Chain A
Amino acid sequence: MTVAATPAPSPVTTGGESGVRLARSRRNAELSLLLLAMVLVAAYGATVEANLLDTVTPDFWMPAAALGAVFLGLHLVIRFLAPFADPALLPAVALLNGLGVGFLRRIDLGEAAPVDRESLAIFAGIGGRQLAWTLASVILAAGLLAIMRDHRSVSRYAYTLGLAGIVLVMLPAVLPRSISEINGAKLWIRVGSFSIQPGEFAKLALLVFFAYYLVRKREVLSLASRRFLGIDFPRGRDLGPVVVVWLISLLVLVFEKDLGTSLLYFGMFVVTLYIATERVSWLLIGLILFFGGAYLAYVLGEMVGGPFANFYLRAEIWLDPFADPTDKGYQLVQGLLALGTGGLFGAGPGGGQPEILPEVQNDFIFAGIGEEIGLFGLSALLVVYLLIVERGLRAALAVRDSFGKLLAGGLAFTLGLQVFVIVGGISKLIPLTGQTTPFLSAGGSSLMANWLLIAVLLRVSDGARRPVSGSAGKAARPTGGPPEQLHGAPTEVIKP
Chain B
Amino acid sequence: MPELVITVARFGFLILLWIFVFTVVGVIRRDLFAGARSGRLVAAPRAVGASTGQAAKPAKVKRGRAAHQLVVTAGQLAGTRITLGEAQITIGRAEDSTLVITDDYASARHARLVPRDGQWFVEDLGSTNGTYLDRAKVTGPTPVPLGVPIRIGRTSLELRP
- Structural contact, B83 and A486, CB atoms closer than 8 A: no
**Chain A interface residue number, banded:** 35 or more
Cβ of B31 within 8 Å of any chain A Cβ, yes or no, is yes
Among B17, B84, B154, the residue within 8 A (CB) of A219 is: B154
CB closest chain-B residue, reference A39: B16
A220 CA / B104 CA spacing, docked (Å): 8
Bound-state Cα–Cα, A12 to B85, Å = 13
Partner of A351, one of B10, B17, B46, B80: B10
Residues 238 to 292 of chain A near chain B (Cβ within 8 Å): none
- B133 → chain A closest CB, angstroms: 21
Residues in A neighbouring B44, C-beta threshold 8 A: 494-495
The reply to whether the CB of A159 lies closer than 8 angstroms to some CB of chain B is no
Interface residues of B in 1-30 (CB under 8 A from A): 1, 5-7, 9-14, 16-21, 23-25, 27-28
Q: What residues of A have a CB within 8 angstroms of the CB of B35 in the complex?
A: 22, 398, 496
Contact A43 B87 (CB under 8 A): no
With A11-B69, A488-B98 known to touch, is A495 a contact of B25 (CB < 8 Å)? no
Contact with A along B63-105 (1 / 0, CB 8 A): 0000011010000111111111111110000011111101110
Q: Which chain B positions have C-beta within 8 A of A402?
A: 76
Interface size class of B (residues with CB under 8 A): 35 or more
Assuming the contacts A219-B104, A220-B104, asked whether A12 and B42 have C-beta atoms less than 8 A apart, the reply is: no
Interface residue? A114 (CB, 8 A): no
Rounded to whole angstroms, the CA-CA distance of A132 and B95 in the bound complex is: 47
- Give the Cβ gap from A465 to chain B, nearest Cβ, in Å: 9
Whole-angstrom CA separation of A492 from B89 in the bound complex: 16
In-complex Cβ contact of B45 among A18, A36, A489, A495 (8 A): A495
A120 within 8 A of B: no
Q: Is there contact, CB below 8 Å, between B69 and A8?
A: yes
Interface flags, B148-159, vs A, CB<8A=1, else 0: 000000100000
A39 to B96, alpha carbons, bound, how many Å? 54
Once A219-B104, A494-B45 are accepted as A-B contacts, the answer to whether A40 and B20 lie under 8 Å apart by CB is yes
Specify which of A87, A219, A398 is in contact with B103 (CB 8 Å cutoff). A219
B51 in the interface, Cβ–Cβ < 8 Å? no
User: In the bound complex, how far is the Cα of B119 from the Cα of A145, in angstroms?
Assistant: 47
A91 touches B79 (CB 8 A): no
Of B6, B27, B69, which one neighbours A33 at CB under 8 angstroms?
B27
Contact A487 B100 (CB under 8 A): yes
The residue of chain B having its C-beta at the shortest distance from the C-beta of A488 within the complex is: B98
Chain A nearest CB, measured from B123 CB (Å) = 16
Assess whether B61 is interfacial by the CB under 8 Å rule. Answer: no
Binds B, one of A44-52, A146-154, A182-190, A415-423: A44-52
Structural contact, B100 and A486, CB atoms closer than 8 A: yes
- How close is B98's CB to chain A, nearest CB, in angstroms? 5
A349, CB-defined interface residue at 8 Å: yes
A372, closest chain B residue (CB): B10
Say whether B160 faces chain A, with CB atoms less than 8 Å apart: yes
Contacts of A14 in B (CB 8 A): 41-42
| Max count, chain B CB within 10 A of own CB: residue among A381, A391, A489 | A489
Q: Report how far A259 CA is from B5 CA in the complex, Å.
A: 45
Structural contact, B87 and A3, CB atoms closer than 8 A = yes
A390: chain B residues within 8 A (beta carbon): 28
Within 8 A of B (CB), among A65-112: 87-88, 91-92, 95
**Residue B136 lies at the interface, judged by CB distance under 8 Å to chain A:** no
Question: A493 and B17 in contact (CB under 8 A), knowing A43-B12, A88-B28, A91-B24?
Answer: no
Residues of A in contact with B (beta carbons under 8 Å apart): 1-6, 8-9, 11-12, 14-15, 17-18, 21-22, 24, 26, 29, 33, 36-37, 39-40, 43-44, 46-47, 50-51, 54-56, 87-88, 91-92, 95, 219-220, 223, 345-346, 348-349, 351, 373-374, 376-377, 380-381, 383-384, 387, 390-391, 394, 398, 400, 402, 483, 485-496
Q: List 24 A-B contacts (CB under 8 A).
A: A2-B88, A2-B98, A11-B81, A18-B42, A40-B17, A50-B9, A51-B1, A55-B1, A87-B31, A91-B24, A219-B154, A223-B154, A348-B10, A349-B10, A381-B17, A400-B79, A483-B95, A486-B98, A489-B83, A494-B71, A494-B79, A494-B81, A496-B38, A496-B39
In order of increasing CB-CB distance, the 7 nearest A-B pairs are: A18-B38, A348-B10, A495-B79, A8-B68, A5-B85, A4-B83, A47-B9
